[in-house]
Amino acid sequence: MKILFLGDVMGRAGRRAITENLPRLRQEWRLDFVVVNSENATSGMGLSGSHAKTLLDAGADCLTLGDHAFDQKDMLQFIQHEPRILRPLNFSKAAPGMGARLFTAQNGRKVLVAQVLGQVFMKRPFDDPFSALEPVLKTHPLGGQASAALVDIHCEATSEKMALGHFCDGRVSLAVGTHTHVPTADAMVLPGGTGYLTDAGMCGDYHSVIGMEKTEPLRRFITGMPKDRFTPATGTATLSGVYVETDDRTGKATRIAMVRDGGILQPAAP
């Protein structure tokens, strides 16, 4: 299968980059399955139901969330009726929606997608992501019912993401980090056959502070005092993420490539 994963969609600029470019990339790269992390798609804070529809209509097969999962209150309801949206497995025992699910790709093949939150440097203490993931990976062995499997590793610390990547090695097709909004350059296939990238980066305007218009973040760093709200930067966004090809029989990654399309980052394509 040919799979594309895109990092955190940031505000209107990120949404526009998805609607304007994802349909073309889907065709050009003959993608079988597309996952888009959407935790910042609505004003940088969470995902509204209407913006979820926009991203799904543009060609995403699955939307993942993150620590901002329910910043938009309507998602608490919306996620219960839209199984294509996943929130982290270990978000909270009381959270609505699912943290992992078996999807059916357009070619009829089954794809497992799961998301976990890290514990290191996160603003809330979440449950252990390793033990949250273990039963899901055990129930869905790669090369069984699922032709491919993806895990979105939503963490701040690169060390925790790498550890989770090794934990997933040989058990999923792709383990990819999100949350920092800055892409890392370490796309690789791990020894067990899992494609891995520490962070997919964001789909947003990189002339910013991690997607936010830079004036207020700069003021807060310099003076230690807030004055305005954070608002997403509005310049042209770069679509940022990772492309992976998998063997349908084993589910393992045969090729991995960084993706950067549009905006001010240096382009990269499969």
Active-site residue among 68, 140, 154, 179?
A: 68
Least distance (Å) between residue 152 CB and Fe ion: 10
Least distance (Å) between residue 107 CB and Fe ion: 30
Per DSSP, what are the bridge partners of residue 258?
242
What single letter denotes the amino acid at residue 105? A
Q: Give the nearer residue to Fe ion in terms of CB position, either 16 or 87.
A: 87
Q: Give the nearer residue to Fe ion in terms of CB position, either 146 or 153.
A: 153
Sheet strand arrangement including 110-117: 100-104, 110-117, 148-154, 174-178, 195-197, 188-189
Helix (H) or strand (E) holding 150: strand 148-154
Q: Give the nearer residue to Fe ion in terms of CB position, either 1 or 155.
A: 155
Tokens, residue 31: 């993608």
Environment class of residue 110 by beta-carbon count within 10 Å: exposed (0-12), middle (13-18) or buried (19+)? middle
How many other C-beta atoms lie within 10 A of the C-beta of residue 138? Answer: 9
Q: Give the nearer residue to Fe ion in terms of CB position, either 45 or 76.
A: 45
Interatomic CA distance for residues 153 and 66, integer angstroms:
9
Residues at the contact surface with Fe ion, assessed by CB under 5 A: 8, 39-40, 66-67, 179
Among this protein's residues, is 154 annotated catalytic? Answer: no
Least distance (Å) between residue 125 CB and Fe ion: 15
Least distance (Å) between residue 178 CB and Fe ion: 6
Catalytically active residues are 68
